[in-house]
Structure 1
Amino acid sequence: MGLRFSDVCIDAHDARTLAAWWSQVLGWPAEDTDDGDVALRAPEGAGPDWLFLAVPDDKVVKNRIHFDLTPDDQHAEVQRLTALGARHVDIGQGDESWVVLADPEGNEFCILAAGE
């Protein structure tokens, strides 16, 4: 049996706006799907595509799954993402080497230090 990890599906109150934000973050192109969702197409070898699905409700609790992103320069990347609209969040992580941010809809993700 063959199995391929093809998509990470992300619920969004405003799928188009959130996909556009993540498109800026990742530098991946966004495209509308036939189903009315928005897909970010991962470059070859960069992992699965991200599929943004419109849902009527807002996010209200901490994510059960999140993304860890490793930049070349953690400080510069945190600055860039907060300038794009990410915000720092405290999920009880304490004093760690990674930085926890949230996207415009409140989805938490981590910016790791280079080499982690």
Structure 2
Amino acid sequence: MALEWEQVIVDASDPVALGRWWAAALGWVVINDASDEYEIRPAHDRLPGLLFVPVPEAKSAKNRLHLDFRPDDQRAEVTRLLALGARHADVGQGEQSWVTLADPEGNEFCVLGPRPRP
């Protein structure tokens, strides 16, 4: 049996606005810009993607699933993401080597530090 990871679904109050934010944050391309299914991917022919769908309720608690990113320069990337509209998030992580941020709708994600060398 073959199983391919197609995408992660992200509930959103405004799928288009949130999808555009993530496309800018990740440098990904828009595959579908419909208001009920806004999809972005690393490239048109690459998976997995992120699919933003509308939901009536606002986010109310810490995410059960979040994304981690490992940039070349953590400080520069955090600064760039904050300038795009992310904000610092406290989910009880305490003092750590990663930085926890939230997108414009409050979805948490982490910007990791350098990968430890063996």
Do these two structures clear the TM 0.5 threshold for a shared fold by scoring above it? yes
- Does 1:63 find its partner at 2:63? yes
Q: Please, which runs of 5 or more residues in structure 1 have no aligned partner?
A: none
Alpha-carbon displacement from aligned partner over 1:28-81 (angstroms, at most 9, x marks no partner):
012326783100022389751110111111100000000000000000000000
- Cα distance, 1:14 vs structure 2: 0.2
The alignment's C-alpha RMSD in Å is 2.0
Q: Which residue of 1 aligns with 2:104?
A: 104
Secondary structure of 1:114 counterpart: coil
Equivalent pair of 2:15/2:35 in contact (CA under 8 Å): no
Written as runs of structure 1 = structure 2, the 5 A alignment for 1:12-27 is: 12-27=12-27
Distance 1:76 1:3, change over 3 A: same
Equivalent pair of 1:42/1:50 in contact (CA under 8 Å): no
Count of residue pairs the alignment pairs up = 116
Q: Which residue of 2 aligns with 1:49?
A: 49
Identity among equivalent positions (%) equals 49
Distance 1:34 1:2, change over 3 A: farther
* Misfit runs of 4+, over 6 Å: none
Distance 1:43 1:95, change over 3 A: same
Secondary structure of 1:95 counterpart: coil
Q: Please, which runs of 5 or more residues in structure 2 have no aligned partner?
A: none
TM-score when scaled to structure 1?
0.91
Equivalent pair of 1:29/1:40 in contact (CA under 8 Å): yes
Q: Which residue of 1 aligns with 2:81?
A: 81
Secondary structure of 2:62 counterpart: coil
